Chain A
Amino acid sequence: MTLGAVAITLFAMIEAGLTRNGEMPASLFVYAVLFGGLAMLAHVFIRYFAPWSDPLLLPLATLLNGLGIAMLWRLFEATGDTEQGSAQDQLILTAASMAVFAALVFFLKEPRTLQRYPYIMALAAVVLLLTPLLPIVGTSINGARQWVDLGFTSLQPSEFAKIALVVFLAGYMVTKRDVLALASRQVKIGPLKVLDLPRARDLAPMAAMWGFCIIVLVILMNDLGTALMLFGTFLAMIYVATHRSNWLVIGLTAFFGACALIYPFVSHFRVRMVTWLDAFRPDVFCTDEAMADPESFCQTAGNSQQLVQGLFAMAEGGMTGAGLGGGKPGFVPEVQNDFIFVAFGEELGLAGCMVMLMAMALLVERGMRIALASKELFIKMFASGISFLIAFQTFVVIGGVTRVIPMTGATIPFVAKGGSALLSSWVMLALLMRMSNNARKPAPQAIQDEGATQVISR
């Protein structure tokens, strides 16, 4: 299956090359050897070191990663425009990410050991999230302050912070789940029970989470995507831990309440909402006429060009798409980042989009299965948290570019250009595979044969 994923990637590159330049991509051999070799190595590695892990995970990740490389190749190399990046960079980053993936699978034999350090993880997450605010190293790109410039490369620490945060939440909630689930005060209106309110002190972690998301991420860093993702994952995990919907009610109320409250004061938040709701208004799209009007919306802030051009690209794709290399993704500004999905929409059409979303969904659902299959609470929390993170991140990004929700700016796991995102995706995959391996590992044979003896397995 992994071979199949590699073959699809190479075939995609050949198609793009033929359509764009009328010839086979000159560097195809390099890609075939490197990407194919890497994937095969990873496959063999898994066979050897995590033999019981879910067999679907690696091929799915390879497919998504490979399609991402093929699309970036088509966007940059095939057009000769490598200023914005190149597929080779992405290939090298993939290699590095796979190395980290292998190392994690190899060294982190028992992911549950992470349970021991919830507060260190929390601290790490906060520090990582805050580093872009530091002077000198912290940089803003396209208005969002979420990068750290290391000189030779820039990192997006929030990509790693979210993993650390899942570890923390899993560890913390496993310890506190009974308190969180049971200790509550009933709110009654007359004889009617309306809501179970958690005790004030149990609300503290949620309050901290909420405050952090709103104040730091939204107001200071203009990082709506991360805020939404982190808070969503937090709610999902607290729901898994407590199985109580009142936490969701409280969380959602607090989150949307805060959004409503800061709406008048935080201009970039307002801009996102307006470009989402009124994307086709002339002054939001910034037509020539609107540009000439000094009073219009586009004089003060961003515009909906990217969003609308993205929708036009999707529309151009239709059912089967223009074929890789046959579309005009150059119409969409910054298409290589979060809008890479519309490039797939244009060139692979509805059919291609569906395949990609299915692959994503499958990946997520296999992750959820790991959570179900595991017997340890921490692993259950951890696996479901990571799976949901992948699902929610995909939803936030693709929903943003297809105008389901406001655009927030995050990356599609495995597919989009960028080192941090790719690396964190492979880290998540490594964690899932290791947990999957441990959950599915059969109990030692010798003991099982002893009949009546009770086996206590992990």
Chain B
Amino acid sequence: MNKPIRRLAIFSLALFGVLMLNISWIQTFQAESLQEHPYNSRQFIESLTQHRGSILVGSEEVAYSDPVGGDSDQFQRKYENGTLYAPVVGAFRAGSATGIERAENSFLDGSNQLLAVNNFRDMLTGEEPKGADVYLTVDPEVQQAAMDGLDPLGKNGAAVALDPSTGAVLASYSTPSFDPNSVASVTDTEQAGKKWEELEASEQKPLLNRAFNEVYPPGSTFKVVTASAALEDGATPESTMDAPESLDLGAPLTNAWDASCNNGAPDSLAHSIEISCNTSMANWAIELGGQKMHEQAGAYGFNQGPMEVPVDVTESSAPLETDPNILGRNGIGQANVEATPLQMAMVASGVANDGDVMKPYLVDSVQNSNLEEVKAAQPEVFSEAVSSGTAEDLTQMMIGVTEGDEASGPAGAIPGMQVAGKTGTAETGTGHTHNWFISFAPADDPQVAVAVVVENGDQSGGELGAPIAKGMMEAVIDE
């Protein structure tokens, strides 16, 4: 009987072995992903008693912690201009956080490895530990201009501004926004929780950062990508393509004005961009083929998976397509092309920056409680989307959009300066249109690149989007 007992003993040991292996796996390799799991609220609840660092825009503290006072050792998170910055900064509340509050939590609550030395010093000197301060790249004037442009429309929408030479996010606004103060109370958590649920349930989705996390058909703004692919393929701004009144792509594809683009004659690339001709650009996409279109979109940042800036950015997609009917529509930013406003701002900034797309980032620097810089942003090239020659051609074509004879987006023009832009009016399939405008200025020395989208604006991008973009560009240039 000893043999089966020995086997049973080995089997018992094996059971313990399985447990040990599993626990080792959980506590070592899996630990980090579990700690950062969205359901894991430990780090946020306990940190109510920690003196959290501030989040700054310019020199203004837009989020900071104040002692609750009385018997409580907790801190209350407060937000200045909460509604204006909520899409970027997010909200820190008992149980969770969003936006920068979440993405940079390890710095704000002081748990990051880079702060270990400072924490140790604080411990020795008996100083109250305080998390690090996070300085954002956001420019308050530009952010304000985005809000002032979008909010009065009463529609949902978003606007992003980038510094094309670095990738720094100068503005990122999404409307409707919300006031983080209303959900952050630690003294009246019930009311705060109720308010949060209300926001979550709202059909307007105020918690959704449309600038980074909503994808829209980019409409005609995507023609910049199509034109890029054409120019890179050897075409010139004068190269022409058939631009009839209508193309038969499964269903007829027409121009916005229900006529041909060049009185029936083939239209030049530059003119097609200026007036936003659909039929010629669809023909360009079909002629270039799915592979080239797909690659060009990828070079601008499409199909590259989710991105962290450091808040999460949803992937924009331009799938590889072979069916000419769909390919043609993709070429004008319809069918299965989808982009975040940030993605379209990256397209504009790529053209502005001699063809190099810089990786967008929101955090300029992090300073510990002793005001020493622990981390500073290093601008990186995200991709080389087009050659500088192509970028120059595109810039000239886009200047035509704001000041050409038949300009489709004159409302984006700034007096005394050349502005490169592109309008977009994307059909949503529901009978409504989203209105886009992407641009950068000054065209000869770009300081800012912008993308604006207004959901279901039902006008043209030139009418609705361009004035907002103009305001944001002016905010940078007037400084």
Taking a contact as CB atoms under 8 Å apart, the answer to whether B35 and A315 are in contact is: yes
For B6, list chain A residues within 8 Å (CB). Answer: 368, 372
Nearest CB of B to A42, in Å: 25
Nearest CB of A to B168, in Å: 34
Whether a CB of chain A sits under 8 angstroms from the CB of B40 is yes
Taking a contact as CB atoms under 8 Å apart, the answer to whether A388 and B35 are in contact is: no
What CA separation (Å) do A368 and B4 show in the bound complex? 11
Whether a CB of chain A sits under 8 angstroms from the CB of B81 is no
For B39, list chain A residues within 8 Å (CB). Answer: 280, 285, 287, 308, 312
B46 nearest in chain A by CB position: A328
What CA separation (Å) do A353 and B2 show in the bound complex? 31
Whether a CB of chain B sits under 8 angstroms from the CB of A387 is yes
Taking a contact as CB atoms under 8 Å apart, the answer to whether A315 and B30 are in contact is: yes
Whether a CB of chain A sits under 8 angstroms from the CB of B201 is yes
Which of A311, A377, A398, A399 touches B1 (beta carbons < 8 Å)? A377
Which of A353, A364, A369 touches B23 (beta carbons < 8 Å)? A353
For B18, list chain A residues within 8 Å (CB). Answer: 395, 399, 404
B34 nearest in chain A by CB position: A315
Taking a contact as CB atoms under 8 Å apart, the answer to whether A318 and B27 are in contact is: yes
Whether a CB of chain B sits under 8 angstroms from the CB of A319 is yes
What CA separation (Å) do A316 and B37 show in the bound complex? 12
Query: Given known contacts A285-B39, A391-B12, is B1 in contact with A243 (CB within 8 Å)?
Result: yes
A321 nearest in chain B by CB position: B27
What CA separation (Å) do A133 and B68 show in the bound complex? 53
Taking a contact as CB atoms under 8 Å apart, the answer to whether A399 and B19 are in contact is: yes
Q: Mark A267-296, 1 if CB is under 8 A from B, else 0.
A: 000000000000010000101110010000
Which of A350, A371, A399 touches B24 (beta carbons < 8 Å)? A350
Taking a contact as CB atoms under 8 Å apart, the answer to whether A357 and B40 are in contact is: no
Taking a contact as CB atoms under 8 Å apart, the answer to whether A395 and B42 are in contact is: no
Between A311, A319, A380, A399, the greatest number of chain B beta carbons within 10 A of the residue's beta carbon is seen for: A311
Taking a contact as CB atoms under 8 Å apart, the answer to whether B13 and A312 are in contact is: no
For A369, list chain B residues within 8 Å (CB). Answer: 9
Taking a contact as CB atoms under 8 Å apart, the answer to whether A345 and B19 are in contact is: no
Tell me the dominant secondary structure on chain B's binding face.
Answer: helix
Which of A315, A331, A365 touches B27 (beta carbons < 8 Å)? A315
What interface size band does chain A fall in?
35 or more
Which of A280, A372, A403, A404 touches B5 (beta carbons < 8 Å)? A372
Q: How many residues of B contact A (CB 8 A)?
A: 39
What CA separation (Å) do A317 and B31 show in the bound complex? 8
Whether a CB of chain B sits under 8 angstroms from the CB of A187 is no
For A138, list chain B residues within 8 Å (CB). Answer: none
Nearest CB of A to B161, in Å: 32
Taking a contact as CB atoms under 8 Å apart, the answer to whether B197 and A292 are in contact is: yes
Whether a CB of chain B sits under 8 angstroms from the CB of A349 is yes
What CA separation (Å) do A331 and B42 show in the bound complex? 7
Taking a contact as CB atoms under 8 Å apart, the answer to whether B20 and A319 are in contact is: no
Query: Given known contacts A399-B18, A404-B19, A404-B22, is B27 in contact with A240 (CB within 8 Å)?
Result: no
For B45, list chain A residues within 8 Å (CB). Answer: 331
Interface residues of A in 309-358 (CB under 8 A from B): 311-312, 314-319, 328, 331, 345, 349-350, 353-354, 357
Nearest CB of B to A186, in Å: 21
What CA separation (Å) do A106 and B4 show in the bound complex? 31
Whether a CB of chain B sits under 8 angstroms from the CB of A76 is no
A390 nearest in chain B by CB position: B12
Nearest CB of A to B439, in Å: 37
Which of B19, B27, B32, B197 touches A349 (beta carbons < 8 Å)? B27
B43 nearest in chain A by CB position: A316
Between A242, A315, A365, the greatest number of chain B beta carbons within 10 A of the residue's beta carbon is seen for: A315
What CA separation (Å) do A256 and B304 show in the bound complex? 45
For B376, list chain A residues within 8 Å (CB). Answer: none
Whether a CB of chain A sits under 8 angstroms from the CB of B26 is yes
What CA separation (Å) do A2 and B239 show in the bound complex? 91
Taking a contact as CB atoms under 8 Å apart, the answer to whether A368 and B5 are in contact is: yes
Whether a CB of chain B sits under 8 angstroms from the CB of A306 is no
Nearest CB of A to B63, in Å: 23
Whether a CB of chain B sits under 8 angstroms from the CB of A361 is yes
What CA separation (Å) do A95 and B16 show in the bound complex? 29
B25 nearest in chain A by CB position: A402
Nearest CB of A to B50, in Å: 13
Q: Mark B44-72, 1 if CB is under 8 A from A, else 0.
A: 01100000000000000000000000000
B33 nearest in chain A by CB position: A315
What CA separation (Å) do A243 and B46 show in the bound complex? 55
For A395, list chain B residues within 8 Å (CB). Answer: 15-16, 18-19
What CA separation (Å) do A377 and B41 show in the bound complex? 55
Nearest CB of A to B151, in Å: 27
Taking a contact as CB atoms under 8 Å apart, the answer to whether B12 and A365 are in contact is: yes
What CA separation (Å) do A345 and B26 show in the bound complex? 10
B27 nearest in chain A by CB position: A350
Taking a contact as CB atoms under 8 Å apart, the answer to whether A372 and B35 are in contact is: no
Taking a contact as CB atoms under 8 Å apart, the answer to whether B4 and A243 are in contact is: yes
Taking a contact as CB atoms under 8 Å apart, the answer to whether A288 and B200 are in contact is: yes
Between B22, B27, B32, B197, the greatest number of chain A beta carbons within 10 A of the residue's beta carbon is seen for: B27
Taking a contact as CB atoms under 8 Å apart, the answer to whether B9 and A365 are in contact is: yes
Whether a CB of chain B sits under 8 angstroms from the CB of A239 is yes
Whether a CB of chain A sits under 8 angstroms from the CB of B265 is no
What CA separation (Å) do A394 and B17 show in the bound complex? 12
Taking a contact as CB atoms under 8 Å apart, the answer to whether B37 and A312 are in contact is: yes
Between B5, B31, B34, B41, the greatest number of chain A beta carbons within 10 A of the residue's beta carbon is seen for: B5
What CA separation (Å) do A377 and B1 show in the bound complex? 8
What CA separation (Å) do A136 and B2 show in the bound complex? 47
Which of A242, A243, A365 touches B13 (beta carbons < 8 Å)? A365
Interface residues of A in 209-246 (CB under 8 A from B): 236, 239-243
Interface residues of A in 399-425 (CB under 8 A from B): 399, 402-404
Which of A243, A312, A368, A399 touches B35 (beta carbons < 8 Å)? A312
Nearest CB of B to A240, in Å: 5
Q: Mark A114-138, 1 if CB is under 8 A from B, else 0.
A: 0000000000000000000000000
What CA separation (Å) do A241 and B7 show in the bound complex? 12
Whether a CB of chain B sits under 8 angstroms from the CB of A104 is no
Taking a contact as CB atoms under 8 Å apart, the answer to whether A314 and B35 are in contact is: no
For B19, list chain A residues within 8 Å (CB). Answer: 357, 394-395, 398-399, 402, 404
For B22, list chain A residues within 8 Å (CB). Answer: 399, 402-404
**Lowest 10 A-B CB distances belong to which pairs?**
A315-B34, A368-B9, A391-B12, A315-B31, A361-B16, A395-B15, A350-B27, A243-B4, A240-B4, A312-B40
Contact sample, A vs B, 30 pairs, CB 8 Å cutoff = A240-B8, A242-B4, A243-B4, A287-B39, A288-B197, A288-B200, A292-B197, A312-B40, A314-B26, A315-B30, A316-B31, A349-B27, A350-B23, A350-B24, A350-B27, A353-B27, A354-B23, A357-B16, A357-B20, A364-B13, A365-B9, A365-B12, A372-B5, A377-B1, A380-B5, A392-B15, A394-B19, A399-B18, A399-B22, A402-B26
- Given contacts A331-B41, A369-B9, A391-B16, could you give 12 more A-B pairs where the C-beta distance is less than 8 Å? A288-B197, A308-B39, A314-B23, A314-B31, A315-B35, A316-B31, A331-B42, A361-B12, A372-B2, A387-B12, A402-B22, A402-B26
